[in-house]
Amino acid sequence: MTKILLKVDDLRTFFHGEEVVKAVDGISFKLEEGETLGIVGESGSGKSVTSLSIMQLLARSAKIESGTISFLGTDLVRLPDPAMRKIRGKDISMIFQEPMTSLNPVFTVGSQVMEAIILHQRVSKAEAREQTIQLFDEVGIPEPHKRVHYYPHQMSGGQKQRVMIAMALSCNPKLLIADEPTTALDVTIQAQILDILRRLRDSRGMSILFITHDLGVIAEIADHVLVMYRGKVVEHGEIHQIFEAPQHPYTKGLLACRP
């Protein structure tokens, strides 16, 4: 039987500014071990807030009003900070749209991945260097021995995203949350990054929560899809179901807009 890795129940995350923004308004879903779940929806529909709620990395003005986020049976919403940091360093990793904002321009890409490895695994520098080269190789960075010494500005957008994937893998996560990881990249590079993620999922048995506004990208990678609209899940099903027999008018609209 397959194991449920992540189970979100009736999650509500609101922002409390001048007015209350119901960014995530009562969503539920589950993610099985080894599965890739796509979340699709237009800008502002609550996709990133969902992922940041899972990671417990929300802005100060945001509050989880209700619900549970169960990761292998542990409720992340009510977990003390140190325990959550441990989960972020071991079980759940995240990659974002803009690799540049996550990489420090004044350090080599290799040293940044090494630092993450040392932080998570407390291994020697030599061991971390060896692992970094292996990870670079795994994510398809050519000549990894040479490229570990490059600075971020010396790498292309696609290569920087590969570095970020290597960094995310440095803790050998069970779950990778990818929030629009291909949105800033051009189409051929997008396809390469999707290919890498698919290969990693299959070789490592990792689960992926893949967030995008692009249904075409979802079709390339996800087993199941969740369609979000204004903080709510309007449709949830297997990928072919959503494409062949969408139920909700919003999903039908999304499909109709595809080139």
Where along the sequence are the contacts to ligand ADP (CB under 6 A)?
15, 17, 21, 23, 41, 43-49, 59, 61
Written as six digits, the tokens of 234 are: 């309007």
Burial call 198-230: b when 16+ CB within 10 Å, e when fewer? eebbeeeebbbbbbbbbbebbbbbbbbbbbbbe
To ligand ADP, the closest distance from the beta carbon of 23 in angstroms equals 3
3-state SS class at 61:
coil
| Partner whose footprint covers residue 101, from ligand ADP, Mg ion, none (CB < 5 to 8 Å by kind) | none
Size of the site for Mg ion (CB under 5 A): 2
Find the residue with minimal CB distance to Mg ion.
48
Q: Which residue number, 47 or 174, has a Cβ lying nearer to Mg ion?
A: 47
Residue 179 exposure: Cα atoms within 13 Å on the Cβ side: 18
Q: Which residue number, 48 or 251, has a Cβ lying nearer to Mg ion?
A: 48
Among 48, 53, 170, 207, binds Mg ion (CB under 5 A): 48
The window from 45-53, 108-116, 155-163, 234-242 that contacts Mg ion (CB under 5 A) reads 45-53
Counting every residue written for the chain, the total comes to: 259
Specify whether the CB–CB gap between 248 and 40 falls below 8 A: no
Q: Which residue number, 180 or 220, has a Cβ lying nearer to Mg ion?
A: 180
| Partner whose footprint covers residue 21, from Mg ion, ligand ADP, none (CB < 5 to 8 Å by kind) | ligand ADP
| Partner whose footprint covers residue 45, from Mg ion, ligand ADP, none (CB < 5 to 8 Å by kind) | ligand ADP
Nearest in space to 228 (alpha carbons), one of 41, 7, 16, 52: 41
Specify whether the CB–CB gap between 76 and 69 falls below 8 A: yes
Give the footprint of Mg ion on this chain (CB under 5 A). Answer: 47-48
